[in-house]
A = this chain, B = another copy of it.
């Protein structure tokens, strides 16, 4: 990947991490907090990769300033990701849950839910559009984790596979319906 492509991946990942970290906090959801912690490794690796490629490119084009901009940018994005991880750590490290934080911060009518697609799921092998999940359950899939890779902002053409971890947002009652629908 080019430096620019890596930076774009880093941007998308850090935005997802912040989104997930606050969701984990608001709904006291340790599963989502763990996803945030795991995502950090990717951002760290990309940060190293940008540094390496930026210096290599500078050797070619002699543009020191540009190399430093790339490096600063990658470090800045990593700081955003670090903040997300710190928030996730608050969720994970609490010996007892602190419902006062969650209750006070909780937005009135939205939840975030995770569900893993079982082998037997009617959803496996369908696109999100074919599943009509958004219209049936009110839940929008914001990200899909597939093994070690992630799909951010999937759309109606995104194919769902068995084993996928779906992260979805929607109305309070949608979380249960999502599970019924996917695990049916």
Question: Across the interface, do B15 and A105 meet the contact criterion of CB distance under 8 Å?
Answer: no
With A and B bound together, what is the CA distance between A148 and B21 in angstroms?
28
Select A79's contact among B22, B82, B100, B101, beta carbons within 8 Å. B82
Select A105's contact among B4, B18, B75, B96, beta carbons within 8 Å. B4
Question: Across the interface, do A2 and B104 meet the contact criterion of CB distance under 8 Å?
Answer: yes
Contact bitstring A134-153, B, C-beta under 8 A = 1, else 0: 00000000000000000000
Count of chain A residues with a beta carbon within 8 Å of a chain B beta carbon: 40
Instruction: State whether the Cβ of A46 lies closer than 8 Å to any Cβ in chain B.
Output: no
In the assembled complex, how far is the CB of residue A47 from the closest CB belonging to chain B, in whole angstroms? 12
Question: Across the interface, do A80 and B87 meet the contact criterion of CB distance under 8 Å?
Answer: yes
Chain A residues touching B, majority SS: helix
With A and B bound together, what is the CA distance between A18 and B77 in angstroms?
10
Contact bitstring A71-90, B, C-beta under 8 A = 1, else 0: 01101111111111011011
Question: Across the interface, do A76 and B86 meet the contact criterion of CB distance under 8 Å?
Answer: yes
Select A101's contact among B15, B25, B70, B87, beta carbons within 8 Å. B70
**A79 cross-chain contacts in B, Cβ below 8 A:** 79, 82-83, 86
Question: Across the interface, do B87 and A73 meet the contact criterion of CB distance under 8 Å?
Answer: yes
Known contacts being A4-B105, A15-B22, A100-B4, is A76 close to B65, with CB within 8 Å?
no
Chain A residues within CB distance 8 Å of chain B: 2, 4-5, 7-8, 11, 14-15, 18-19, 22, 25, 65-66, 69-70, 72-73, 75-84, 86-87, 89-90, 94-96, 98, 100-101, 104-105
